[in-house]
């Protein structure tokens, strides 16, 4: 008998012995009946996070009512993730959307958190008009002025690698940050440049127990200093910075966990580019956690969306549109296409002030 045969012989006998032991103790049966919360470890509760969110969704990707409405509209759903992300086939956004279609898309966004459309090729006016059917828009003060003041062009290529490669929800430095963003790809790199979306409700339910115990009691300050810092350009004169700060609130406090104002679900609400990592404060006492504890906790919180289990990934093609709910997901644009060009046009819908209400 070779060494390998001897090892395999032992491995097979061990597996048989263990199986007999487990079934003899009825351990597997007991495990199946135990709640998932007791089966996951304190530090890796990812499976629990996804399963909890899915259970809240009724253990189905969409409700029966929404599936029936899709059929009525002749729309087919292609779900990308268990709890988030759906491509809608059979929609033509170049035509003005009827009230009925807008209501349907709103419901689909609320249930699936981020929705996608392919081959739309909207011009800037059409994209803005489509976005306006969902509410008021916010202009963006720190972008390159484009064809329309409500469009932000996210443009990268040679000399400008992508910078949106950190998990974030858009414009969290605003007092009333964006409800949702609608982006269309107008120039696509030959490969790469995908955008990943992660479910902030599932990420909340999957927090390690020590963070879960305190997270909903915390507030954190967000500001837009990154836009004032030059980023390769000439430093802005102090006078100009002071004028911007005087007109646009600089440093707003938001709850770390926000309640979605339409679904009532709790979500981690963060943007790594805008949070002041040292600013976590316990709302119950008004006491800051202190810079060291706050920074350490923030480093872990900012990585919570990293888990692939919470994510779906969208491969852009020109004319593709993504519409995401900034109150329910964070996103991350992979910066893996340099020196190729990638251009997205983004419009942001006005939102309301984040709050937390215990459920």
Residues that are catalytic: 168, 170, 331, 346
Alpha carbon 180 to chain centroid, angstroms: 11
Closer of 192 and 288 to ligand SIN (Cβ): 192
With H, G, I as helix, E, B as strand and everything else as coil, classify residue 74.
Answer: coil
- Shortest distance in whole angstroms from residue 116 CB to ligand SIN: 12
Helix axes 64-73, 99-112, angle to 10 degrees: 140
Nearer to ligand SIN, 80 or 297 (CB): 80
Whether the CB-CB separation of 257 and 266 falls below 8 Å is answered with yes
Residue number, 69 or 347, with CB nearest to ligand SIN: 347
**Footprint of ligand SIN (CB under 6 A):** 154, 164, 170, 181, 183, 195, 331, 333, 344, 346
Within 8 A by CB and 6+ apart from 83, the residues are 50, 53, 54, 57, 61, 113, 199, 201, 202, 310
Beta-sheet strands, E only, within the chain: 76-79, 86-89, 114-117, 137-138, 152-156, 180-187, 195-199, 218-222, 252-255, 257-259, 266-268, 281-282, 287-288, 311-314, 321-325, 329-333, 342-349
* Minimum CB distance to ligand SIN smaller for 227 or for 356: 227
SS3 183: strand
Cβ 162 to ligand SIN shortest distance, Å: 7
**Shortest CB 158 distance to ligand SIN, Å:** 17
Tally of residues, the chain: 359
């Amino acid at each position: 008998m070779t060494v390998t045969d001897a090892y395999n012989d032992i491995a097979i006998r061990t597996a048989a012995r263990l199986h007999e032991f487990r079934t003899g103790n009825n351990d597997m049966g007991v495990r199946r009946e135990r709640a998932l919360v007791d089966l996951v470890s304190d530090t890796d509760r990812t499976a629990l996070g996804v399963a909890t969110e899915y259970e809240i969704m009724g253990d189905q990707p969409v409700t029966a009512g929404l599936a029936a409405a899709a059929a009525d509209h002749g729309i087919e759903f292609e779900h990308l993730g268990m709890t988030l992300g759906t491509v809608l086939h059979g929609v033509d956004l170049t035509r003005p959307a009827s009230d009925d279609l807008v209501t349907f898309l709103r419901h689909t966004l609320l249930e699936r958190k981020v929705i996608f459309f392919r081959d739309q090729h909207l011009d800037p006016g059409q994209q803005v008009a489509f976005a306006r059917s969902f509410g008021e828009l916010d202009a963006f003060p720190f972008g390159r002025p484009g064809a329309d003041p409500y469009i932000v062009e996210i443009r990268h290529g040679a000399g400008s690698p992508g910078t949106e490669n950190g998990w974030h929800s858009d414009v969290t430095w605003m007092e009333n940050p964006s409800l949702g963003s609608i982006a269309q790809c107008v120039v696509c790199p030959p490969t790469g440049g995908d955008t990943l979306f992660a479910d902030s409700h599932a990420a909340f339910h999957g927090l390690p127990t020590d963070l879960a115990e305190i997270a909903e009691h915390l507030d954190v300050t967000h500001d837009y200093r990154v836009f004032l810092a030059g980023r390769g350009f000439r430093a802005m004169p102090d006078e100009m910075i002071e004028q911007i700060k005087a007109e646009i609130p600089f440093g707003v406090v938001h709850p770390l966990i926000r309640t979605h104002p339409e679904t009532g679900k709790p979500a981690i609400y963060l943007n790594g580019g805008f949070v002041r990592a040292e600013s976590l404060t316990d709302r119950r006492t008004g006491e800051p956690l202190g810079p060291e504890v706050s920074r350490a906790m923030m480093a872990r919180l900012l990585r919570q969306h990293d888990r692939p289990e919470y994510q779906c990934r969208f491969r852009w093609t020109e004319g593709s549109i993504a519409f995401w709910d900034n109150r329910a997901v964070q996103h991350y644009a992979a910066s893996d296409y340099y020196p190729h060009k990638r251009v997205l046009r983004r419009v942001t819908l006005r939102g309301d002030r984040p709050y937390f209400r215990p459920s």
